[in-house]
Each structure stands twice: as structure tokens, then as C-alpha cells.
Amino acid sequence: MLTVTDPLRGRARASKNACVPEVSLYVAVITAAAGVVGAVAAQIPGIARDIRLADRDRRERKTDERQQACLDLIGAAGDLRTLVMNAQQYRGEEMVDRLAEIRKSAAAVQLHAARVELLMPTLAGRADQLAKAAERFADALVAGTDMTHREVVRTPETAELDHTTDAFREQAVADMRS
């Protein structure tokens, strides 16, 4: 027999159940475990929803990035075309600066084409064709410029640049819809 002090009476008494654990300890452990399991189970739908939302946001950002890359390439090609057309009407001391700006614009088309090729391999061929057409277009203007008189004497054809820009745009729209 084990002697246990009775807290109410302050005297020692013999206990027959000293070796048997208290039932209240089991109840406390089970209650705590049920609370933890219940709290975790309540969080699972929220976590699953957050994962789905994060995945959807990632897909939307990727789509937006692809669309912007395509728009940047088309815009750069349009800017190059505008610069060349404006340079054709110019005669004067700033022709060297204008030609440098045109070369820089052609390089921007190539840079945007490379970005499209990285983001959208299905458009790589069309983007490369557009970059090469832009380079040839800029080179044709430079070759057709008389630097002695600082004027364009031979106007480059816009057909190839226009055709490759349209072909790229059509394929980009088709790819974005699928």
C-alpha cells in the first residue's frame, strides 16, 4: 500500500489506486490531441485553396509576360519602321545621329526577339525572321544614305519587315488563344 496525503484533510491515508494512473490524465491527452487534429484539419482546405490560387497567379503572370514580350517585339519593329521612314525625309547634319538611332532600334528588335524565343519556343522561328528582316531593313537604309550630302538616296522596301511583322503577330495571337 502507498501512503497518500489527503489534500482536504491534511493527513496521510492509504491509497489502493496509487499504481493506476488517473483517468483525467488520459482524458486531457485525448482532448488535446483531438484539438490539434481538429485545428490542422480545419487548415487543410485553406492551404489547398492558397496553393491553387498561387498556381493560377503564376500561370497568369507567365501569360502576361509572354504577351508583353510579343507586344514589345511588335512595338520595336514598328518603332524601327517609323525611324526609317522619318530618316528618309530628313536632310542635314543630324543624319549620322539618326542612323545611329536606327541601328540601335534594330538591335532592340533583335533583343526583344531573343526574349520571345526564350519565353515561347513555338514563336522562335517567326521572331528570328522578324529580327533578321529588321536588321536588313536598317542596313538597307544605311547603305542607301549619301553621307556626303547627308540624305537618303535609296529608300528601303518595307514589304519584308511588314510581312514578317504581320506573320509574327498572327502566330502570336493564335498561340495565345490556344
The fold of 61-177 is de novo design (two linked rop proteins) (1.20.1440)
What confidence score (pLDDT) does residue 120 get? 95
| For the chain, domain boundaries | 61-177
Which SS3 state, helix, strand or coil, does residue 94 take?
A: coil
Which SS3 state, helix, strand or coil, does residue 5 take?
A: strand
Lowest mean pLDDT among 49-58, 72-81, 90-99, 126-135: 49-58
Of 165, 172, 155, 178, nearest to 133 by C-alpha is 165
Q: Residue range 118-141: average pLDDT? A: 96
Does this model's pTM top 0.85?
Answer: no
More confident residue, 27 or 124: 124
